[in-house]
Structure 1
Amino acid sequence: MNIKYKNLVKTFNGNVAVDIDELNIGEKTILGLVGNNGAGKTTLFRLSLDLLKADYGKVEMSFTKQDNTFFSTDVKVDEEWKNQTGAFIDESFLIDFLSPEEYFEFIARVNNIDKKTLDIRLKEYAVFMNDEIVGKKKLIRSMSAGNKQKIGIIAAMINRPQLLILDEPFNFLDPSSQNMLKKMIINYNKETGATILISSHNLTHTIDISNRIVVMEHGKIVKDLDNTDIKAKIELEEYFNM
């Protein structure tokens, strides 16, 4: 999946949340989006998913469809990109009156995934779930914040998306689960060539998994760094006074 942001502006009550002249993100990229609170990271993700309407500008997505034809669209104009996208931003993405099993089955049906395929894919995340999510006869709303986070992440990956967007995915996870998630993200990118966008306040985790890092402040991009072989680490630590 390729993503292009062009002259993208979003304001709330006169305050600029996002102001990006141009940003292009290509296939196979794991892009880490970092910045202090209020930098505009989550707003950018919501604009990317057409959950917010921009004041100006547009978000374009282009990808190769299953029939090997090339497709490009403004996210506001056509919804076919949604079939190629998985995302988890916060608990609002969950249907918390369902059990995890019911929620995964709902996501599968929306993506035309049969029960056998769903079961196979869920087995891949068995270690990550740590025997705390499925088979517990509990509703999502009764689960811990960490397990809700896991459910949202797994659901975002069930349809094998070409574009995966995760906002603060390491929040609420214990250290072992954080390390497992890092491996999951890196392996998924290597296996599928998917474009992955990660926002996180955890600079160490972001540096570990990203091959490109964008720093946002007050809605603007202030740094766009190549992080191949962790080469951006020193510059980022200096920028954030670590």
Structure 2
Amino acid sequence: MSGPVFPLEITSLTKEFSTKRALDNFSLTLQQGEIAALLGPNGAGKTTLIGCLLGFLSGDAGSIRLFGQDIAHLTPEVRNRVGFVPQTMTGFTWFKVGELLSYLADYRPATTPQDNRWLDWAGLNPAARIKSLSGGERQRLAIVLALRFRPDLIVLDEPVASLDPQARHDFMRLLPDYAHQHGATVLVSSHIISDLEAICDRFVMMRHGKLVLDISKNNLHQQVRYLSALPPEGWGLTLLAPAEDGGFWVEGWHAALDQAALQEGVVATQPDVETLFLALSR
């Protein structure tokens, strides 16, 4: 009997460049409909991971499966279910916007459903030459190209870095609406953590190519705490990271420990994602 099929399943992925191990036994599985944030400082391995899961790079060990298929042997049907937004769009500069949209649409089956809210959001002139577009306009075009044909798995690498505040705000409102409407799975990497905290229901944190924390938004608020002092071993907590002020970040918190902390004189504070991310990035 076969097991469940996930939109994304990464198992023990390792990737080395010369003397650097960019990914170290990294595993991650995303369920249908999840919106997951991929977090980590520069050099953590996020870009390498995205390159591997899109087939731009090959892992040295481990495996990646998209909708049950090995990344090296994807059928056209599965490839059409994946949308990717890079940090910066390059190429196709000789096309006009409308020409490129039509050209790439011809590679899709005529019956492929479309979601034209992205065209409305982008507000691009179809007659404009791509080489004449600003950085923000090119990024809006990249988003349209990735999401127009209703992908089931969306991978975004710093998608809003070059957008103006209004376009960024509207995109971060439309993306979860789209995902919830179509049951799409989203993996988004961004340094604008306030955006991710607003839309993501899961947080995946990397450091030095390794997974250091994989937790849902609900569990983060319920089970992760900043403590003003090292907790007793009997509390059964997992130490995540020390804090700069002498405190500690821990996982495994539960309501029964509130009273224990009060009795021990230990201050327990619920974290926000950005503060926890900074602690885990050191």
TM-score, with structure 2 as normaliser: 0.73
**Residue in 1 that maps onto 2:264:** none
For 1:56-71, list aligned pairs within 5 A: 56-62=61-67
Structure 1 140/230 Cα, relative in aligned 2: closer, same or farther at 3 Å? farther
- Separation in 2 of the partners of 1:113 and 1:149? 26
Deviation digits for residues 213-236 of structure 1, max 9, x if unmatched? 101111111111211498388253
Deviation digits for residues 43-92 of structure 1, max 9, x if unmatched? 11111111111111110122xxxxxxxxx211112334202111121445
- Three-state SS of the structure 1 residue aligned to 2:48 is helix
**Residue in 1 that maps onto 2:100:** 103
**Residue in 1 that maps onto 2:216:** 226
Q: Is the 8 A contact 1:32 1:206 kept in 2?
A: yes
Q: Is the 8 A contact 1:188 1:194 kept in 2?
A: yes
2:167 equivalent among 170, 177, 197: 177
1:148 equivalent among 138, 160, 167: 138
Q: Is the 8 A contact 1:5 1:20 kept in 2?
A: no
Structure 1 range deviating more: 27-36 or 8-17 = 8-17
**Residue in 2 that maps onto 1:214:** 204
Q: Is the 8 A contact 2:65 2:71 kept in 1?
A: yes
Q: Which runs of 5+ in 1 are unaligned?
A: 63-71
Matched, 1:138 2:162: no
**Residue in 2 that maps onto 1:74:** 70
- Three-state SS of the structure 2 residue aligned to 1:87 is strand
2:56 equivalent among 51, 54, 60: 51
Q: Is the 8 A contact 2:96 2:128 kept in 1?
A: yes
Structure 1 202/113 Cα, relative in aligned 2: closer, same or farther at 3 Å? farther
Deviation digits for residues 81-133 of structure 1, max 9, x if unmatched? 20211112144565222111111112211122479x76xx43x235422x4x2
- Separation in 2 of the partners of 1:113 and 1:153? 21
- Separation in 2 of the partners of 1:48 and 1:196? 13
Larger Rg: 2
Q: Give the partner amino acid of 2:125.
A: V
Q: Is the 8 A contact 2:39 2:277 kept in 1?
A: no
Q: Give the partner amino acid of 1:17.
A: A
- Three-state SS of the structure 2 residue aligned to 1:53 is coil
Aligned residues: percent identity? 27
Q: Which runs of 5+ in 2 are unaligned?
A: 1-5, 225-269
- Separation in 2 of the partners of 1:151 and 1:107? 12
- 1:144 offset after TM fit, Å? 0.6
The two structures, once aligned, show a CA RMSD in angstroms of 2.3
Q: Is the 8 A contact 1:208 1:230 kept in 2?
A: no
- 1:207 offset after TM fit, Å? 0.9
Q: Is the 8 A contact 1:40 1:218 kept in 2?
A: yes
Q: Give the partner amino acid of 1:125.
A: W
- Select the structure with the greater relative contact order (CA < 8 A; seq sep ≥ 6): 1
**Residue in 2 that maps onto 1:168:** 158
Q: Is the 8 A contact 2:118 2:148 kept in 1?
A: no
